[in-house]
């Protein structure tokens, strides 16, 4: 039988789902460059575009602000956060430490199949790199690291890293297009896979951390 309690519960679920949908929509538009750094988001215009009311939109904005995609300036409004050298360094530094921890845990939890699966993905990356297909290479690279991170068996860490990985996407395309980056990445993957095959969690953690931190120098050149 339908009740007030189930009605309220259903409305709560629908509201949460709507907020998450708005978050995903705005986040994707920022990552694709449709909403530019520094661009002001007009609340009423966004409501009209997304066909939503102000309440879920404002809640979505707060979530995106917490994730670093938006900034709320007092008496001025909500803006897409600017890309900055300091922000890039901060995000990459945090990601390096957290992702290397995830890899350490993944190796510790490995049932013996992790290295073989990563090797398969790395071979696909090599194929696309040799063809100069940066788009499919990037997709495989994301698959490689997502599979590795998800193997850590720590959902809280996986969730945190998902946010930081999305934030670095705003810089990552430039890093990926730097000279020799694809080939260099594949070589580093081979070394990483070898350490995983040897079940050397400490070495795998060190390799991944150093690899991510090395990108800071490339990202820093974007702000010269």
What's the CA gap between 182 and 184, in Å, rounded? Answer: 5
- In angstroms, rounded to a whole number, what is the distance separating the alpha carbons of residues 107 and 197? 9
Tell me the sheet residues that pair with 73: 77
In this predicted structure, what is the pLDDT of residue 4? 34
Token pair belonging to 185: 């990445």
Split the chain (224 residues) into runs of 10 and give each run's mean pLDDT.
35 71 92 90 95 94 92 94 87 93 97 96 94 86 94 96 83 65 89 97 97 85 73
CA distance 88 to 213: 11
DSSP string, 173-204: HHHHTSTTHHHHHHHHHHHHHHHHHTT-HHHH
pLDDT at 8: 34
Looking at domain 4-80, does it have CATH number 1.20.1250.20?
no
Query: Phi and psi at residue 76, in whole multiples of 5°?
Result: -120, -35
The burial class, CB within 10 Å (0-12 / 13-18 / 19+), for 82 is exposed
What is the per-residue pLDDT for 206? 97
pLDDT in the model for residue 49: 93
How is the chain split into domains, by residue range?
4-80, 85-223
- Per DSSP, the chain holds a count of helices (H) and strands (E) of 9, 3
Question: Three-class SS of residue 73?
Answer: strand
Q: Which CATH superfamily is domain 85-223 in?
A: GntR ligand-binding domain-like (1.20.120.530)
4-80 with 85-223: one CATH topology?
no
Spatial separation of the C-alpha atoms in residues 181 and 202, rounded to whole Å: 25
Per-residue confidence (pLDDT) for residue 110, from 0 to 100: 96
Q: What pLDDT score does 73 carry?
A: 94
Residue 222 C-alpha from the chain's centroid: 19
């Amino acid at each position: 039988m339908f009740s007030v309690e189930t009605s309220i519960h259903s409305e709560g679920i629908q509201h949460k789902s709507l907020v998450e949908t708005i978050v995903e929509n705005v986040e994707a538009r920022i990552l694709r460059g449709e909403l530019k750094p520094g661009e002001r988001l007009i609340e009423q215009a966004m409501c009209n575009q997304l066909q939503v009311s102000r309440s879920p939109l404002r809640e979505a904005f707060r979530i995106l602000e917490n994730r670093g995609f938006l900034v709320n300036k007092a008496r001025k409004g909500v803006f897409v956060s600017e890309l900055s050298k300091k922000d890039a360094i901060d995000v990459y530094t945090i990601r390096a430490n957290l992702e290397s921890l995830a890899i350490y845990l993944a190796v510790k939890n490995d049932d013996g199949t992790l290295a073989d699966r990563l090797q398969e993905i790395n071979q696909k990356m090599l194929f696309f790199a040799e063809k100069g297909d940066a788009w499919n290479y990037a997709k495989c690279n994301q698959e490689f690291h997502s599979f590795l991170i998800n193997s850590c068996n720590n959902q809280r860490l996986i969730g945190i890293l998902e946010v930081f990985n999305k934030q670095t996407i705003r810089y990552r395309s430039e890093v990926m297009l730097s000279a020799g980056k694809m080939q260099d990445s594949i070589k580093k993957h081979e070394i990483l896979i070898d350490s995983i095959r040897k079940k050397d969690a400490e070495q795998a953690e060190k390799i991944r951390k150093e690899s991510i931190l090395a990108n800071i120098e490339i990202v820093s050149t974007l702000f010269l």
